[in-house]
Amino acid sequence: MDKQYKTNENKQYLIFAATILFLLVTIVVGAIVFRFYKLSVKGSSDVREYDKYYCLIADNHKSDFWQSVYDGALEAAKEENIYVDLLGNNLSGEYTTEELMKMAIAARPDAIMVSADESDTMTELINEAVWGGIPVVTLYGDNTRSDRLSFVGVGGYSIGKMYGKQVINVIKERRREDFIEAESFEERSHVKVVVVANSDTKDTGQNIIIPAMQDAIMEENATDAEFSISIMTVDNSNSFSVEESIRDIFMEEEVPDVIVCLNELSTVCAYQAVVDFNKVGEVNILGYYDSQDILTAIERGGIYATVSIDARQLGEYSIKALSDYYDLGNTSEYYLADVTLINQDNVNQFLTGEDEDEE
């Protein structure tokens, strides 16, 4: 019995040791790769030589949103002879934001721009970078407890207000239908609203958007009998879990009238579910971001409206924050990018604008 216990104990120890070794090797190899890449960017005679090397770290770097942010940062940085690397693009395998932060710190770039959250781990990593002489700008997602240099993001309160006004429009449409069809005034339709939120309760952005949306609805004198709001939390780091969670909504006996999505991924998944379950025109999607697919869905009536974030501006402001710091010794603590509501009334302007850009 003792011999078997010791054998199991030894196996657990070996597994633990192997895990630690794997993590250390991953970080060291990543650091070497980035250091080599940094030197090749700066020192090769075949490429342009840059004055500074910045790292941009995002939670979903392959999305249209973050690719647009990166394009904005890259374009602004080139004007100042700075190279920006979107970490993860040149690596095989998937890494978490925290793992990429560790690699970046080990590679010692001139600055780090990171899509942060309020977790203790992220606070420690940002502080480690800053105390090691690497300025950090939090981008889109903030970490208010850290020693980050600046936060570049969007006004969550304004976005919440936009969503709230769109919900009111849906309620007003139902009121008109009730006036025509209902036999009595008391038979008003009840608008059910579901907000698809990140399971990370420390996401400060969504924690501002949701209350602002509720305030905007109440300001329009909508009664409790006319609407209800519930929040469904999903793990947005996993596209499969988002898709499955949203599809579960349509399997319920009572499907919501409005689905509010707080990121690009949930918007696309919600639209696909509406199409698959033949609910176009019945379920109103309030989306996030303005990718070509989302704009086309608005034009076709599959998405009610979306909030457009000037993603390129986010990237540009991140470079500006760091440039001000290096040139002037200080910078603004907050930079807010522009947001615009896109619906049936103005979607063609954005589609035309994209077509012109592509040409």
Q: Which two tokens stand for residue 43?
A: 């020192």
Dist CA 137 CA 216 (whole Å): 31
Q: Please, which pLDDT band fits residue 46 given cuts at 50, 70 and 90?
A: very low
Q: Please, which pLDDT band fits residue 80 given cuts at 50, 70 and 90?
A: very high
Name which of 319, 286, 280, 320 is nearest 302 in CA terms: 280
Q: Which two tokens stand for residue 276?
A: 């698959």
The answer, yes or no, to whether residue 39 has pLDDT greater than 70, is no
Q: Please, which pLDDT band fits residue 240 given cuts at 50, 70 and 90?
A: confident
Domains of the chain, each with CATH number or no CATH? 2-148+312-337 (3.40.50.2300), 156-309 (3.40.50.2300)
Q: Please, which pLDDT band fits residue 183 given cuts at 50, 70 and 90?
A: low
So what's the pLDDT on residue 270? 95
81 three-class SS: coil
Burial label for 251, CB within 10 Å (0-12, 13-18, 19+), is exposed
Max avg pLDDT among 40-54, 78-92, 101-115? 101-115
So what's the pLDDT on residue 305? 97
Kindly list the strands in the beta sheet with 339-343, ordered across the sheet, starting from the edge strand earlier in the chain.
Answer: 227-234, 191-198, 258-261, 284-288, 305-309, 339-343
* pLDDT averaged over every residue in the chain: 84
Q: Which two tokens stand for residue 198?
A: 């990140």
Q: How far is CA 188 from CA 172, 181, 228, 252, 278, in A?
A: 11, 10, 13, 22, 25
Average pLDDT estimate for 185-190: 63
Please give the model's pTM, rounded to 2 decimal places: 0.77
Dist CA 305 CA 283 (whole Å): 12
So what's the pLDDT on residue 306? 97
Dist CA 3 CA 258 (whole Å): 62
So what's the pLDDT on residue 12? 63
| Phi, psi angles (nearest 5°) of residue 148 | -60, 155
DSSP codes, 112-141? EEE---S-HHHHHHHHHHHHTT--EEEESS
Per-residue pLDDT tens over the stretch 271-330: 999 999 999 989 999 999 999 999 999 999 999 999 999 999 999 999 999 999 999 999
Q: CB–CB of 161/78 below 8 Å?
A: no
So what's the pLDDT on residue 357? 45
* Element of type H or E holding 16: helix 2-43
The answer, yes or no, to whether residue 338 has pLDDT greater than 90, is yes
More confident residue, 40 or 99: 99
What residue has token string 């302007």?
Answer: 349
So what's the pLDDT on residue 34? 54
Q: Which two tokens stand for residue 309?
A: 């974030």
The answer, yes or no, to whether residue 45 has pLDDT greater than 50, is no
More confident residue, 222 or 338: 338
So what's the pLDDT on residue 201? 55
The answer, yes or no, to whether residue 226 has pLDDT greater than 60, is yes
